[in-house]
Amino acid sequence: MNWKRNKALLFKRVCRRQFCRELLDLARGLLLVIFLLAFAGCGYTAKTIFPNNIKTVHVDMFKNNIDITKEVSAKDNYEVYRPNLEMDLRDVIVNRIFLDGNFKVADKDSADAVLEGEILQYRKDPLRYQDEVAQEYRISLICDVKLINQKDSSILFEEENITGDTTYFTTGALQKTETSALNDAMLDLARRVVNKIIENW
């Protein structure tokens, strides 16, 4: 009797071990499939599939079309002009393209596409006052951009009124200079421009 009972217990243990091994093998197999799918690009990815002939881009100097002769009005009280803004913006966009990594920056003669743009507005709007003195501002930089295929002059991407902005305080622990805030607004604009081009493809 004891021998039969021991044999039955032994059989159960062997079956249990076999089941555990099979379950473990199944789990390992599932993990391997998930791992392979993730690296094969079957899941979500931020990488863009560009047209085969567009691998390099040249960023032209943006045209500064801010009207410095316009009379100041109550509506446009804080629209401003800043020297060399177009050069600074171009440098920031070039750096953003390098950081993004989806395509390379090249000279105009050898680039597959050219990114052109116009600076329409640079605004500095007060957001918060204390004793009738502005303590916080929003800086906005508004541009039109288009990406042109060098081969046939077709427009690959075009969008108007892309806005990069930021806020900053003039006093207190979060105090920032207007120059530093403008750089943040340009970084935001460059990010939006590059992201929109990528999403378009």
Residue-wise pLDDT for 108-161, tens only, equals 999 999 999 999 999 989 988 888 888 899 999 999 999 999 999 999 999 999
Domain identity same for 33 and 68: no
Per-residue pLDDT, averaged over 80-99, amounts to 90
Summarised one tens digit per residue, pLDDT across range 156-195 is 999 999 999 999 998 888 889 999 999 999 999 999 999 9
Q: Which two tokens stand for residue 6?
A: 């021991």
Does the residue 167 lie in any domain? yes
Summarised one tens digit per residue, pLDDT across range 23-68 is 556 656 555 545 544 544 443 334 444 566 788 999 999 999 887 6
Q: Is the pTM of this model over 0.95?
A: no
Domain identity same for 31 and 120: no
Domain identity same for 29 and 82: no
pLDDT at 33: 47
Per-residue pLDDT, averaged over 84-110, amounts to 92
Domain identity same for 94 and 187: yes
Does the residue 36 lie in any domain? yes
pLDDT at 120: 93
Domain identity same for 27 and 96: no
Domain identity same for 78 and 110: yes
Separation CA 152–CA 27 (nearest Å): 54
Domain identity same for 81 and 14: no
Q: Which residue has the higher pLDDT, 82 or 86?
A: 86
pLDDT band at 10 (very low <50, low <70, confident <90, very high): very low
Does the residue 50 lie in any domain? no
Domain identity same for 161 and 190: yes
Domain count along the chain: 2
Does the residue 3 lie in any domain? yes
Q: How far is CA 122 from CA 26, 35, 78, 119, 159, in A?
A: 60, 48, 9, 8, 18
Domain identity same for 108 and 29: no
Q: Which residue has the higher pLDDT, 59 or 15?
A: 59
β-strands 63-64, 104-105: how paired?
unpaired
Domain that holds residue 63: 56-200
Domain identity same for 40 and 78: no
Q: Which residue has the higher pLDDT, 201 or 80?
A: 80
CATH of the domain at 195: 3.30.160.150
Q: Which two tokens stand for residue 76?
A: 């446009």
Q: Which of 76-90, 92-106, 119-133, 160-174 has the lowest mean pLDDT?
A: 76-90
pLDDT at 43: 37
Identify which of 152, 163, 170, 169 has the alpha carbon closest to the alpha carbon of residue 191.
163
Q: Which region, left, alpha or beta, applies to residue 185 given φ > 0 means left and ψ of -120 to 50 means alpha?
A: alpha
Q: In the predicted model, is pLDDT for residue 78 greater than 90?
A: no
Please say whether the beta carbons of 136 and 83 come within 8 A. Answer: no
Does the residue 4 lie in any domain? yes
Q: Which two tokens stand for residue 58?
A: 């040249």
Per-residue pLDDT, averaged over 71-90, amounts to 71
pLDDT at 20: 54
Domain identity same for 41 and 130: no
Domain identity same for 41 and 60: no
